[in-house]
Amino acid sequence: MRFLMSLVLLFLMVSCTTIRVNYDYDKETNFSNYTTYNYFSDLQTGLSELDERRLVRILDSTLQSRGYRLAEEPEMYINILSSKFRNAPNNAVGVGIGGTGRNVGGGISVGIPVGSGGIQRSIQIDLVDAQRDALIWQAVAESGYRDNASPSVREANLKALVKKVFSKYPPEHK
């Protein structure tokens, strides 16, 4: 019984932190030509200062483990944008009244929302060719967000987000 409860709790925690990512990239770009990166000097992420430092540290670790180097004059720049929004509630209760008689029908229906929508955070990561000043790759990730999460939970969520975002980088040429 205890195992079953642990499994259900784990499932609920994982299902609440689903990360959805949309990708787009320039098909003409040869991504193997890029070996160095840096961040835009006027980076305005929309994240808190602590979350921004966490995200940059995680991005550095991920990119350097893939063989990229942080450089003063890079081949590509990274831009990060973030926003928070509230989802509409998915659950509603319908109340209806209806009547019929002698070939006449009528009805009234009202939907009442149950619960509130959760807060979602969208983080957009852009890779820009430094030479051409052109966007070459973009990922927009959406996931659940809690303002009152502990620092370790925030870092774990950002690590999962970066891992998912860079799971399809560099894109495969077809």
User: Does position 171 have pLDDT exceeding 70, yes or no?
Assistant: yes
User: Does position 100 have pLDDT exceeding 70, yes or no?
Assistant: no
Helix (H, G, I), strand (E, B) or coil at 60: helix
Can you say whether the dihedral through the CA atoms of 38, 41, 44, 50 is positive or negative? positive
Domains of the chain in start order, with CATH, are: 27-87+114-168 (3.30.160.670)
Q: For residue range 8-31, what is the model confidence (pLDDT) as tens digits?
A: 444 444 444 588 999 999 999 999
Q: Once rounded to an integer, what is the mean pLDDT over residues 91-97? A: 60
Strand order in the sheet with 36-39: 20-25, 134-144, 119-129, 76-86, 36-39, 69-70
Residue from 64, 82, 69, 71 nearest 161 by CA: 82
HSE-up of 122 (CA within 13 Å, CB side)?
A: 11
**For residue 22, what pLDDT is reported?**
92
Q: For residue range 111-156, what is the model confidence (pLDDT) as tens digits?
A: 665 555 577 888 999 999 999 999 999 999 998 878 788 889 989 9
User: Does position 93 have pLDDT exceeding 90, yes or no?
Assistant: no
Rounded CA separation 9/16 (Å): 11
Q: For residue range 31-87, what is the model confidence (pLDDT) as tens digits?
A: 999 999 999 988 888 888 999 999 999 999 999 999 999 999 999 999 999 887 776
